[in-house]
Chains A and B, each alone.
Chain A
Amino acid sequence: MARFDGYNTDGFYDEMFFPDGSARPAVQMLVERIANFPNGELIRRQITAEYALLRMGITFNVYADEQGVEKIFPFDLIPRIIDATEWEWIERGLKQRIQALNLFIDDVYHEQKIIKDGVVPAEVVLSSGRYLEQCIGLDPPRGIWCHITGTDLVRDSDGQIYVLEDNLGCPSGVSYVVENRQLMKRTFPQLFGMSQIEPVEDYPSRLLDMLQYLVSDSVMSPEVALLTPGIYNSAYFEHSFLAQQMGVALVEGRDLVVMDGYVHMRTTKGFERVDVIYRRINDDFLDPKVFNPESLLGVPGLMEVYKSGRIALINAPGTCVADDKVVCAYVPQIIKYYLDEDIIVPNVPTYMCWEDDDRKYVLEHIDELVVKEANQSGGYGMLIGPHATRAEHEDFAERIKANPRNYIAQPTLALSRVPVLIEGHFEGRHVDLRPFILYGEDIYVLPGGLTRVALKKGSLVVNSSQGGGSKDTWVLSGTR
């Protein structure tokens, strides 16, 4: 195993190796194969792959970065491998979770039985910045609210997998899953011959299927559009990739107009009706007449058409209420309440700062915990206690005291690691996993998902906007 000589798991759970340095069963073939590569071969292929990404323009935009604008999403050649048994368990857990969350969202915008029955406190739901009164009483097409979810999973040092958060808004990253796979096939064709790997390339057609399913049967050939904030959005590559792969129009707010009770696109031949919008802009910006009046990204009058049932919006407006990190802490109870089942894949233990006991604990242990704003994502608005300075601890403590409802805290998990090629040798780096779930006629979980790697040594932040990279993720086929 020459290539992995000197690789040390440093006491963390490693996705490829046991603590004694021997390979886990699912990766044994891969490890042997890599060990047999001639010197320099891996680096050569890594450079080739990175240049291919640049050529293909598979890049993302960094908001804070004034000059670079476009960067490639760093890609590591060594795949992350998940065996069939573990994946089967994850898949079951995610389906259960999405089904329950959908029932929850529908309930809080209708009868609010879960609140009346005292399972989730009313304040938790109603005080959430993501609970939209404008959506009360709405019935989305086919009764589905959360069509697309990108749930983040992490593994702690004891090997246990937890759900970190659900990302029901506009989860991004699925284009990298598909592109990473294509890149891997080009880079290591021989590895694919020897392994049975679940395919991911059919995601765009499954997505299109789901989008078209939402149109009422009376519409003969539904017109689907993907609504993007535009080329300066950090996920623009993904928007254009998905539109291209599905063969649907990629539109901006200014391309759409509400007329005669329908949504239309402005084309060179006049106005053309749209039936389904996969929107990659947040609720707030969807319709300046209903939500943020300053929004230039949305379409004035869109919600009116939505209420009349003449347009399907994916995900349904209001869905993000279940994305609130405080609401998220109640998912075990939510699953029990609607499905009468125990949660399969557990939540990361969460302290809710608005509860006196929890807040006291959090303030006393702030240097050990991860503190997050309830409504933030993308690695922004968070404090990683053990890595932060004293001044930062104090700053967050003040913020928590000022607005306890807006903060949750979780133990700092020792996220599992994977070997990453760094300057010609392997070093362990922390990872998470974002599987993508589609809810249409049935619930589909894309095998694997996006493995995000914190490329900075010792870092626990995997977000692409904060220096994260990605790996191809292989789910090995079982006997199912």
Chain B
Amino acid sequence: MLSRVAESMYWMSRYIERAENVARFVDVNLQLILDQPIGMQAQWEPLVATTGDDEEFEERYGEASRESVIKFLAFDTENPNSIISCLRAARENARSVRENISSEMWEQLNDAYLMVTETPEEWALTEPHQFFTDIKAASHLFTGLTDNIMSHSEGWHFCQLGRLIERADKTSRIVDVKYFILLPSVSDVNTPFDDIQWGALLHSASAFEMYRRTHGLISPNNVVAFLLLDREFPRSVLYCLSKAEESLHAISGTPLETFSNSAEQGLGQLRSEFAYAQVDQVLHSGLHEFLDAFQTKLNDVGDDIYKTFFALRPVDGESSQSQSQMQ
């Protein structure tokens, strides 16, 4: 597979996953606000913080409100991580590899993009739940098509890799931001209000019902354990890392538990760290520090994937060129 094509597949699915995650946690926050006691300040800043674009937001919008946050996260074409920007980037990448994906995948993604560009912002503000549900559904449909129509060969594994790394990153950010906000009130554990907040964190990763089946009552430790360390829940960080590692090894042909490049080494180390972590120890030594270090290492893995598979390798007499499609 061409390096350029592999890179586009990887980013195509990363951007779709990113759009879906933004849609999900904005939606959850909207629901959450409906349950808040009257007089309680709505929590809009944390949403922007989760995407890591809080500085840019503050500079351009100032105060975080329902309107400004939805606008920034969904429709702002100048925000590279807004839903519309993600879908556009996904579509541009798909366009450059159209011959490698099925027509159905392309049409589905094109549809999703057209849907967002044709949606009036006022409608999304009055019917936000429907709008964000549509975005999530579009992403699920695309992922379903990828799984069921595309051969599970190299290209598919690059799609997997992109999606899972993006998901691991986003889940960790949601946990990081929410935990940071809820931490001061940890003494309030088990009050109904707190229960709702922690439930919302689970909802942000579509994890609420699966959590209930596994752990029953909500406790902060179990929520963190479920979202970071669960081995079976497909949005937990450990699950994403394990599956990403499998795809990485399927691409290179190197057996698991060994490595032939820095990406495999880095991802393997990261996965082991999570596989053998214990939630009480993580919380005791500082969740934020733990997640911060994780995000740095995950970024390094992304860089190593780029260097190993995508970078234009120089040949004799040719100077090294490098171009990244990361935007």
- A269, closest chain B residue (CB): B1
Nearest CB in chain B: distance from A304 CB, A: 14
Q: Which residues of B contact A208 (CB under 8 A)?
A: none
Bound state CA distance, A266 and B92, in angstroms?
21
How extensive is the interface on chain A, given as a class?
20 to 34
Size of the chain B interface, CB-CB below 8 angstroms: 29
A136 CA / B107 CA spacing, docked (Å): 46
A252 contact from B4, B92, B107, Cβ within 8 A:
B4
Query: Which residue on A lies nearest to B106, using beta carbons?
Result: A57
A55 touches B2 (CB 8 A): no
Q: A265-B2, A266-B2, A266-B3 are in contact. Are A259 and B107 (CB under 8 A)?
A: no
Cβ-defined contact, B111 with A55, below 8 A: yes
Q: Which residues of chain A come closer than 8 Å to B4, judged between CB atoms? A: 252, 254-255, 266
Contact with A along B128-167 (1 / 0, CB 8 A): 0000000000000000000000000010000000000000
Q: Is A28 an interface residue (CB 8 A)?
A: no
CB distance from A67 to the nearest CB of B (A): 12
Q: Which of B53-61, B294-302, B311-319 contacts A (4 or more CB under 8 A)?
A: B311-319
B98 within 8 A of A: yes
Contact (Cβ within 8 A) B315 A268: no
A126 within 8 A of B: no
Q: How far is the CB of B321 from chain A (nearest CB, A)?
A: 8
Which residues in window 315-345 of A have CB below 8 A to B?
none
Q: Is the CB of B3 within 8 A of A255?
A: yes
Q: Is A177 at the interface (CB under 8 A from chain B)?
A: no
The segment out of A9-17, A103-111, A242-250, A375-383 that lies at the interface is A242-250
List the B side residues contacting A268 at CB < 8 Å: 1-3, 6, 154, 251, 309-310
B288 to chain A, nearest CB (A): 36
Residues of B within 8 A of A267 (CB): 1-3
- Find B95's partner among A57, A249, A255 (CB 8 Å cutoff): A57
List chain B residues, Cβ under 8 A from A240.
Answer: 95, 98-99
> Any chain A CB within 8 A of the CB of B96?
yes
Q: For the complex, what is the distance from the CA of A467 to the CA of B150, rounded to whole Å?
A: 37
Interface string of A222-261 (1 = CB under 8 A from B): 0000000011000010001101100001111011010100
For residue A54, CB closer than 8 A to chain B, the reply is yes
Question: Which residues on A sit within 8 Å (CB–CB) of B92?
Answer: 231
A229 to chain B, nearest CB (A): 12
A329 to B114, CA, bound (A): 47
Asked if A56 is at the interface (CB within 8 A of a chain B CB), the reply is yes
Q: Is the CB of A54 within 8 A of B114?
A: yes
CB-based contact A255/B318 at 8 Å: no
Q: Which residue of chain B has its CB nearest to the CB of A272?
A: B2
* Chain A residues within an 8 Å CB radius of B2: 249, 251, 255, 265-268
For residue B101, which residue of chain A has the nearest CB?
A: A244
4 closest A-B pairs by beta carbon, nearest first, are: A244-B99, A243-B99, A240-B98, A268-B309
A-B contact pairs, 16 of them (CB 8 A): A54-B114, A55-B107, A55-B111, A56-B106, A56-B107, A57-B107, A231-B92, A240-B99, A241-B98, A243-B99, A244-B103, A249-B2, A254-B321, A266-B312, A268-B6, A269-B1
Known: A57-B107, A266-B3, A266-B312. 19 other contacts (CB 8 A): A54-B114, A55-B111, A56-B106, A57-B106, A231-B96, A240-B95, A243-B99, A244-B100, A249-B2, A249-B5, A251-B2, A255-B2, A257-B315, A259-B316, A267-B1, A267-B3, A268-B2, A268-B6, A268-B309
A residues near B, CB below 8 A? 54-57, 230-231, 236, 240-241, 243-244, 249-252, 254-255, 257, 259, 265-269, 271
